[in-house]
Chains A and B, each alone.
Chain A
Amino acid sequence: MELFEKLMYYLSYPLVQYALVVGVFIALCSSLLGVTLVLKRLSFIGDGLSHVAFGAMAFAVVLNFSNQMLLVLPVTVLVAILLLCTGKNSKIKGDSAIAMLSVGALALGYLVLNVFPEMVTSGNVAGDVCSTLFGSASLLTLSSKDVWLCIGLSVFVIGVFVFFYHKLFAITFDEDFAAATGIRVQVYNILLATVIAVVIVLAMKLVGSLLISALIIFPTMSAMRVFKSFKSVIICSACTSVVCALTGMLVSILFSTPVGATVVAADMVLFGVFALIGALKG
């Protein structure tokens, strides 16, 4: 009962309400895209892009951007398009390209933050890096402007997904067939890359750039243990993700654990449960 009262007390704060709303939207978006990414064997693109976003953010801090999104979002979108659309023909193959960009951006980002520590307004480089990597408290420092931006972008992502659902299915299942029947695969790949980048930049706020892959991969993998059609996997993955994000955030508020890590832990537990159900079902 005491716990419940404590929860109610926290929930009465607008900051906490903002955090929950944003968390739910981010979880929903990342799980929707996760299905496509996992099935296209691109699970790690989330990881790679989030490190790129981290690098971009470090530069935005050092260059003293008032709104970091203005740099982070375009850079991430650009890299996403490069990775997704040149994948097949480029000289450097997909997975190594992602790995190189990922560690490269991470290293450069950390480097510039340490070379120009005077630009880090909080005066605490290690603390700032840690919160960008693991999410931590940033969710509770959202302004209402952030919240509306986040909701707007989420609605855009969900809209794209719903509107192009069948096309996304077709290019995920069989790109060659889709291209042969006249679907403009490249256009949809660019659209997909843009949406992925948007989701990753958003998700950085929730779980930080190291744990983003978890938001993308776990709900899908859980859903795939049990469900067998594309539609049911997507619906299940969206529900799983939202439930885990809510649970994780509430637990983290109550027991003051780090937000990102707690959400991911919740995802892992649910994956275990689904794997068990899947195994029992045979």
Chain B
Amino acid sequence: MAQLTCDNVILGYEKTAVTGLINFSLNKGDYLYIIGDNGSGKSTLMKGILGLRKPMEGTILFGDGLKQNEIGYMPQQTIVQKDFPASVEEIVISGCLSRSGLRPFFTNKDKMLADEMLSKMEILDLKKRSYRELSGGQQQIVLLARALCATQKMLLLDEPVAGLDPETTEELYELVKKLNREEGVTIIMVSHDMHAVSKYASHVLNLVKEPVFFGTAEEYFASHAKGQEDK
């Protein structure tokens, strides 16, 4: 059974539809790229998947042991976070909160998990540093580690390389790829970066045109090439 299925989903604000009719399903270990211009409904779809917004039509289903609140989300950075006084440790361990219920403190298990994710992301040495003093790339990796504390089944990344230099971008992509290939983490990536799509994606969802395209990366590039020829 698929981990995530969008069945005839349309998303929008109030009564205006933002997306076309979306149909796709993802299995464990897939690497999906959601592409589309600004305003094509990428963020709205993401909110739908995360359960922050109800679809206007259709259903979003979870299966294969995945629950909706088990998606590790890596949002775009907000202005608030730029000068936020918090240590890396405090931020990463906040990913464990969803499991703590009403318990007002973290357990040793939570702390060990946070450490484990820090070392997996190769930033254990930054543990005590202040978040606002890190470089943009380091900050993103911290947020990735936090998402991993929340779940290790599925990650949803919203334009994670926006504003990063090429080298750091590559580094981040490699980390995500490693999680995908070695740990079988399902990845959903929202991005403009077509170069990365060709390099990493197993599946592509293109929200730009009606009908919404969903297929494997090979199918996408084949149809894309054909579209170019037709022109």
Residues of chain A touching chain B, judged by Cβ–Cβ distance below 8 Å, are 39-41, 162-167, 169-170, 173-174, 176-183, 223-224, 227-233
Contact = CB atoms under 8 A, between A and B. Distances in A.
A229 B130 contact: yes
9 closest pairs, A vs B, by CB? A182-B69, A228-B130, A181-B98, A229-B87, A180-B73, A180-B50, A230-B86, A170-B94, A233-B85
A173 B69 contact: no
A173 B52 contact: no
Given A39-B84, A166-B100, A170-B97, 9 more contacts: A166-B94, A180-B75, A181-B98, A182-B98, A223-B85, A228-B132, A230-B85, A230-B87, A231-B90
B4 interface: no
Interface centre among A174, A180, A227 (most CB of B within 10 A): A180
Nearest to A162: B104
Contacts of B41: none
Contact of A229 (B78, B90, B97): B90
B152 to A, nearest CB: 13
A140 to B, nearest CB: 37
B98 A228 contact: no
B84 A176 contact: no
Nearest to B146: A177
Contacts of A164: 104
Interface centre among A39, A162, A165 (most CB of B within 10 A): A39
Given A163-B104, A166-B105, A233-B85, A176 B97 contact: no
21 contacts: A39-B84, A164-B104, A166-B97, A166-B100, A166-B104, A166-B106, A167-B97, A169-B90, A173-B80, A174-B78, A177-B75, A182-B68, A182-B69, A223-B85, A227-B85, A229-B85, A229-B130, A230-B85, A230-B87, A232-B85, A233-B85
Interface of B: 50-52, 68-69, 71, 73-75, 78-81, 83-87, 89-91, 94-95, 97-98, 100, 104-106, 130, 132-133, 146-147, 150-151, 156
B81 A174 contact: yes
A169 B100 contact: no
Contacts of A39: 80, 84-85
A208 B212 CA distance: 59
Contacts of A163: 104
A47 B157 CA distance: 37
A9 to B, nearest CB: 42
Contacts of B80: 39-41, 173
Given A164-B104, A173-B86, A229-B130, A181 B97 contact: yes
Nearest to B75: A176
A173 B105 contact: no
B217 to A, nearest CB: 26
Contact of A173 (B81, B98, B104): B81
B58 to A, nearest CB: 20
Contacts of B130: 228-229
A163 B103 CA distance: 8
A224 B150 CA distance: 28
Contacts of A224: 83, 85
A228 B85 contact: yes
Nearest to A227: B85
B133 to A, nearest CB: 7
B56 to A, nearest CB: 16
B71 to A, nearest CB: 7
A180 B71 contact: yes
A95 to B, nearest CB: 14
Nearest to B88: A229
Contacts of A177: 73-75, 146-147
B104 A176 contact: no
B199 to A, nearest CB: 27
Nearest to B106: A166
Contacts of B84: 39, 173, 230
Contacts of B85: 39, 223-224, 227-230, 232-233
A182 B80 CA distance: 21
A167 B95 CA distance: 11
A178 B69 contact: no
B73 A183 contact: no
Contacts of B89: 229
A230 B51 CA distance: 29
Nearest to A178: B97
